[in-house]
Amino acid sequence: MSQNLCNKKYLYLYASQRDAFNKILQYASKNGLPEGLKDQMLAHTQLKFKTAELQQEEVLQDLPKAIRAGIAQHLFHNVVEKTNLFKGVSDDFISQMVKLLFFFSQQ
């Protein structure tokens, strides 16, 4: 149940992880670091993000559904709002879509 919300949070955080990986790749390239060292840096960063994801799941699983729904609104309202499919629709409609997405993720 809360795992679905965590999976969506993971997608939201994917951009942060991708940015971190790109910074590592740029740094390694700029400084001529060997592949092995670059791979260690990437593995460490990946582990850090996976650990953060697990901690979020533990926090969310004990919360009531209403609170998790509020968290989903906070985290995903802007994401849904920025998609091309929903550009120009009312704020209320966006909120309803997030509620529906949250509801179906709990099934």
pLDDT at 5: 53
pTM above 0.75, yes or no: no
CB 56 within 8 A of CB 9: yes
pLDDT at 1: 41
pLDDT at 48: 79
pLDDT at 25: 93
Q: Which two tokens stand for residue 4?
A: 């679905």
Per-residue pLDDT of the chain (107 residues; tens, 9 = 90+): 445 555 555 565 667 778 888 999 999 999 999 999 998 998 888 877 776 766 667 777 778 888 888 888 888 888 888 888 888 899 999 988 888 887 776 65
Q: CB-based burial of residue 6 (10 Å sphere; 0-12 exposed, 13-18 middle, 19+ buried)? A: buried
Cα gap 32→92, rounded to integer Å: 51
Cα gap 92→8, rounded to integer Å: 21
